[in-house]
Amino acid sequence: MDKNVKICIIGGGPAGLSAGMYLEKKGYENYTILERLDRVGGKCWSPTYNGRRYEMGAIMGVPSYYAVHDVEEFCGITHDGPKLNRNYKNAAGKVIEPFNPKKNPLKIPRLMKMKNQMKKLAELLETKYKGYDINGHRGVAEGRYEGFAVTPGREPVSGINENLKDLALPFKDFCEKNGVELVQDIWIGPYTSFGYGYFDEIPAGYVLKYLDFQTTMNFVNVNLWTWKEGTQWIWEQLNDHLKHPARLNSTIEKVERKDGKVYVTVNGEVEEYDKIIVTAPLYIPGTRADGQKGMIEYFDARPDEIELFSKIDYERYDVQAVLTKPEDHPEISYYVFDNMVKERLGHLMVYYRRWRDEVDQVITTYALRKHRDMPEVGYDECKQMVIDDLKTMNNPASEVINEWTVYYFPHVFSADYAAGWYDKVEAMQDKYDTFYAGEVMAFGDMDETAEYSRELVERFF
């Protein structure tokens, strides 16, 4: 492609900013990034309280976040934040140690069985499901893989593997099919509590491409990265180092694609481009209170775009930032496994203490309020449930200082995944001088979205 091609990138989150970085590294400098908010970072949002930043969105990374490490190298920064740790409570607020056999002698047979199933799953993923961890979902429904290895060198790999079709199964069914159902006890912590849905409804492809075996072991062993100024700072730094930083407060009213050009009406002015990369949501079912819209509502959307993107759903995942009295402040972050099941929809799943040396700081709480087979819990109802749960946990909130409900983890369900939704969308790349990137094309964490942008640039530019 001509290096002077004029490119519009919609979205100043990890996917959009990374697209700009990878384009720039390949010699494409005629790009513009449009961001509707007054900040960059997307779901990496790190406000400030008492002189320190806290997390309302993404919290951490792991050493296998290779795309995030690309950003660090590009900007000359590193992961310099507080060391994290966690403990566990049950729904009644009692501290438990579910994986410690000395504390759970009656559970030793189950824990031993879980350990054996973990070993079995590791072997299955390396052999039966070779190629499972390639970024994105291209070819999975057809029993093939194509992309870049999940290694520091990220060498190109491809192959045929009919077993990969199993990744369309809900993760619960996938585990049962392979006789490793107890591994869900390990995967649920960094998956469901982080807002990505329940194992009986979400295709295994999402679970295992995000939590591939090495990433999961990093979470289990608390081998984590954090950033002193928060995850948003990573993307602020990248924005500052790009030749063309994102243009904030950019409201896109209309996009028309005709005669080989893309016409973007932004803040009342029409701008002309040759190509457009969409990292913002492709479709948002219903009407959101914040006014955020999906691509097909402001684009001259074509029938195939409307048909495919209308199949996308998303999670209702809510965050509250609370203060406590000093005597009520938790000594560590806590996971509440009892609340990570659909029967406890809307309840507190995890609450997070970022700084270990200060009690005058924010605690952030996280709750899911949607399952495809159940009535959605209302936003205000969920907020109150979480506040009540904090009392049960013996860490009552004295004040709520921030709250956020965000368009979160766009995905398709098993039937559409198995029917080749991703291959149909991938076949449309550049069809209308338009490229589709962002969360839904890979997964909703910052590294997977950034890695997909890297692959998109490698494939088409």
In the predicted structure, residue 286 carries a pLDDT above the cut 90: no
Mean pLDDT, residues 262-284 taken together: 98
Is-contact 252 34, C-beta < 8 A?
Answer: yes
CA-closest candidate to residue 314, choices 193, 411, 382, 404 = 411
CA-closest candidate to residue 33, choices 261, 277, 271 = 277
Is-contact 400 321, C-beta < 8 A?
Answer: yes
Q: Per-domain residue ranges for the chain?
A: 7-74+228-312+412-460, 101-220, 314-410
Radius of gyration in angstroms for the set of CA atoms belonging to the chain, rounded to a whole number: 22
User: Quick one: pLDDT band at residue 291, thresholds 50, 70, 90?
Assistant: confident
* Alpha-carbon gap, residue 283 to 410, rounded angstroms: 9
Is-contact 202 187, C-beta < 8 A?
Answer: no
In the predicted structure, residue 151 carries a pLDDT above the cut 90: no
* Alpha-carbon gap, residue 124 to 407, rounded angstroms: 34
Mean pLDDT, residues 273-285 taken together: 97
> How far out from the chain centre does Cα 442 lie?
9
Residue 271: Cβ within 10 Å count: 15
Parallel/antiparallel/unpaired status of strands 7-10 and 275-278: parallel
Mean pLDDT, the chain, whole residue set:
96
Q: Which residues contact 153 (CB under 8 A, 6 or more apart)?
A: none
Q: Assign a CATH topology to domain 7-74+228-312+412-460.
A: FAD/NAD(P)-binding domain (3.50.50)
165-221 pLDDT per residue, tens = 999 999 999 999 999 999 999 999 999 999 999 999 999 999 999 999 999 999 999
361-404 pLDDT per residue, tens = 999 999 999 999 999 999 999 999 999 999 999 999 999 999 99
51-97 pLDDT per residue, tens = 999 999 999 999 999 999 999 999 999 999 999 999 999 999 999 98
CATH of 314-410, one of 3.20.20.60, 3.30.70.1990, 3.90.226.10, 3.40.720.10: 3.30.70.1990
Residue-level pLDDT at 102: 83
Residue-level pLDDT at 387: 98
Please state, in angstroms and as integers, the Cα–Cα distance from residue 422 to each residue in 205, 278, 310, 426, 431, following that order.
Answer: 11, 16, 13, 6, 15
Residue 149: Cβ within 10 Å count: 15
CATH number belonging to domain 101-220 = 1.10.405.20
Residue-level pLDDT at 288: 87
> How far out from the chain centre does Cα 184 lie?
19
Q: Is residue 85 exposed (0-12), middle (13-18) or buried (19+ Cβ within 10 Å)?
A: exposed
Please state, in angstroms and as integers, the Cα–Cα distance from residue 163 to each residue in 140, 198, 272, 384, following that order.
Answer: 9, 23, 45, 44
Is-contact 408 317, C-beta < 8 A?
Answer: yes
Could you identify the residue written with the tokens 């007054």? 38
Residue-level pLDDT at 1: 83
In the predicted structure, residue 290 carries a pLDDT above the cut 90: no
Tell me which DSSP letter residue 195 carries. Answer: T
314-356 pLDDT per residue, tens = 999 999 999 999 999 999 999 999 999 999 999 999 999 999 8
* Alpha-carbon gap, residue 148 to 136, rounded angstroms: 10
